[in-house]
């Protein structure tokens, strides 16, 4: 096996996502947050959020903070939060829901407050597929309008796409739609059965494998970065295809952390295993020392075939998908076809 670059397990998070609110005007079929029309009780106050952002800036200087939700634009103090995070040394990105709340004025206000990138979801190449996933007619067209508006305002854009049984057949056509948007990055997320996401909508192991190769083929031709989210075995596939250098492993607990609307910290929004709360502990401390974070970063604690796999440092499996399917976040990734060499040796 080739020697691959991997992230140091104790390196600070490259990316932290903050669920600023669970409120959202949409009710997407696969919503991780099971978002509701109104904010839930217990949402972090402005003072609590400012303290958290200051601690993150100090502990993870230069790290990326994603303002997410729900719909972050339904949080009234969002520009102030973006400005505080920026002043604290964080690079701020925004993932609004594509609702009428995203206007030119509000995007400009957030840009001026320090937002450096805007990500919008497009899940299918046609309005039928995308609007069907979102449950809102006109959502596809609105997403394209918001992306164009952000670019006109000088904001680099990212497209997020969710791969499910419904969207997987159209990956190549979707790539062409994404190409037309001229993003700096396409983030392809493989569904985890969390929140409103259902096990039936997730791809099988064989379907994951075929999709990984199709995405790797596309990535070789597209003029922007293609990032695969919540599917670490994609890194194994890239290694098998001969990649000399792999993208850094940014996945739940390894270079990534998630802060829920009520301050609860977990490895990712798709692995909601609580490690602490920013109301009483610094997010930096939770990321470094929280039990689930330490367990995920220790390959010796992985279960099943992942523990003995020659790719466990490069990949390590999706801990969120293991949790969603088996209830054990350290179990073998149930959607990986690979059979480790240690298990095939005579
Ligand atoms: S067996 Fe586990 S560690 Fe190995 S490639 Fe598959 S998911 Fe990754």
Q: How far is the CA of 235 from the centre of ligand 1 (A)?
A: 10
In a domain, 321, yes or no: no
Q: How far apart are CA 117 and CA 143, in angstroms?
A: 15
Element (H, E) at 240: helix 233-240
**Residue 39 Cα, ligand 1 centroid: separation in angstroms?**
38
pLDDT per residue as tens, the chain (346 positions): 332 333 444 455 589 999 999 876 655 556 555 555 566 668 999 999 999 999 999 999 999 999 998 889 989 999 999 999 999 999 999 999 888 889 999 999 999 999 999 999 999 999 999 988 888 889 999 999 999 999 999 999 999 999 999 999 999 999 999 999 999 999 999 999 876 667 778 899 999 999 999 999 999 999 999 999 899 999 999 999 998 888 877 889 999 999 999 999 999 999 999 999 999 999 999 999 999 999 999 999 999 999 999 999 999 999 999 999 999 999 999 999 999 999 986 5
- Answer yes or no: is the C-beta of 338 below 6 A from any ligand 1 atom: yes
- Residues 115, 118, 119, CA angle at the centre, nearest 5°? 145
Instruction: Establish if 240 belongs to a structural domain.
Output: yes
Does 36 map to a domain?
A: yes
Check if the beta carbon of residue 286 is closer than 8 Å to that of residue 278: yes
Question: Is the residue at 184 inside a domain?
Answer: yes
Residues 6+ apart with CB under 8 A from 324: 192, 193, 194, 199, 270
What's the pLDDT at 7? 42
What angle (nearest 5°) sits at the alpha carbon of residue 41, between those of residues 36 and 43?
Answer: 90
- The answer to whether the CB of 305 is under 6 A from ligand 1 is yes
Which of 330, 332, 339 to mutate to test ligand 1, by most ligand atoms within 8 A of the CB atom?
Answer: 332
For ligand 1, whether the C-beta of 304 sits within 6 Å is no
Residue with CA at minimum distance from ligand 1 atom 7: 317
Q: How far, rounded to the nearest angstrom, does the alpha carbon of residue 23 sit from its chain's CA centroid?
A: 19
CA distance readout (Å), 224 to 26, 161, 218, 323: 29, 15, 10, 32
Using most ligand atoms within 8 A of CB, pick from 205, 208, 316 the residue to mutate for ligand 1.
Answer: 316
User: Domain containing 98 — which CATH number?
Assistant: 3.20.20.70
> Would you say residue 313 lies in a domain?
no
Q: Is residue 284 part of a domain?
A: yes
Closest ligand 1 atom to 306 CA: 2
- Alpha carbon distance 124, 127 (integer Å): 7
Say if 46 falls within a structural domain. yes
Ligand 1 centre from 306 Cα, in Å? Answer: 5
Whole-number Å distance, alpha carbon 298 to ligand 1 midpoint, is 14
Residue 333 Cβ inside 6 Å of ligand 1? The answer reads yes
Can you read off the two tokens belonging to residue 293?
């974070």
DSSP 267-287: SBTTB----EETTTS-HHHHH
Query: How far, in Å, from the CA of 168 to the mean position of ligand 1?
Result: 22
Domain that holds residue 250: 15-298
Q: Residue 88 has what pLDDT?
A: 97
- Domain assignment present for residue 343? The answer is no
Residue 249 has what pLDDT?
A: 79
CB 253 within 8 A of CB 297: yes
pLDDT tens by residue, 291-315: 999 999 999 999 999 999 999 999 9
Query: What is the tally of structural domains in the chain?
Result: 1
pTM, full prediction: 0.90
Ligand 1 atom nearest residue 339's Cα:
1
User: How far from 101 is each of 73, 180, 217, 249, 330, CA to CA, in Å?
Assistant: 7, 24, 36, 33, 40
Ligand 1 center–CA 124 separation, angstroms = 28
Q: In 3D, which of 150, 193, 230 has the Cα closest to residue 327?
A: 193
The pLDDT value given to residue 34: 56
Query: Ligand 1 test: best mutation among 4, 206, 232, most atoms within 8 Å of CB?
Result: 232
Coil, strand or helix at 67: strand
188-232 pLDDT per residue, tens = 999 998 766 677 788 999 999 999 999 999 999 999 999 998 999
């Amino acid at each position: 096996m080739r020697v691959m670059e991997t992230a140091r397990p104790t390196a600070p998070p490259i990316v932290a996502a903050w669920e600023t609110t669970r409120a959202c005007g949409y009710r997407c079929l696969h919503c991780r947050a099971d978002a509701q029309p109104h904010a839930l009780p217990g949402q972090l106050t402005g003072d609590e959020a400012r303290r958290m952002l200051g601690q993150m800036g100090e502990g993870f200087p230069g790290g990326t903070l994603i303002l997410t939700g729900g719909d972050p634009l339904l949080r009234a103090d969002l520009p102030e939060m973006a400005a505080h995070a920026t002043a604290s040394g964080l690079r701020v990105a925004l993932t609004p829901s594509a609702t009428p709340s995203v206007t030119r004025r509000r995007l400009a206000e957030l840009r001026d407050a320090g937002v450096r990138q805007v990500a919008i979801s497009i899940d299918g190449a046609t309005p039928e597929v995308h609007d069907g996933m979102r449950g809102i007619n006109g959502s596809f067209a609105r997403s394209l309008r918001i992306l164009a508006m952000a670019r006109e305002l000088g904001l680099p854009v990212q497209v997020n796409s969710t791969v499910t049984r419904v969207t997987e057949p159209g990956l190549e056509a979707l790539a062409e739609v994404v190409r037309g948007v001229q993003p700096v990055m396409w983030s392809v997320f493989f569904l985890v059965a969390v929140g409103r996401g259902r096990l039936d909508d997730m791809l099988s192991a064989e379907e994951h494998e075929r999709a990984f190769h199709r995405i790797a083929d596309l990535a070789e031709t597209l003029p922007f970065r293609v990032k695969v989210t919540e599917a670490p075995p994609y890194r194994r596939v890239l290694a098998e295809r001969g990649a000399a250098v792999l993208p850094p492993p940014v996945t739940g607990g390894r270079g990534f952390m998630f802060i829920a609307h009520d301050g609860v910290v977990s490895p990712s929004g798709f692995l909601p295993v609580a490690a602490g709360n920013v109301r009483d502990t610094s997010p930096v401390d939770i990321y470094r020392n929280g039990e689930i974070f330490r367990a995920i970063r220790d390959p010796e604690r992985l279960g099943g075939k992942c523990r003995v796999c020659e790719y466990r440092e490069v990949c390590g499996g999706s801990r969120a998908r293991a949790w969603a399917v088996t209830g054990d976040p350290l179990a073998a990734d149930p959607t990986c076809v690979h059979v480790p060499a240690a298990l095939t040796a005579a």
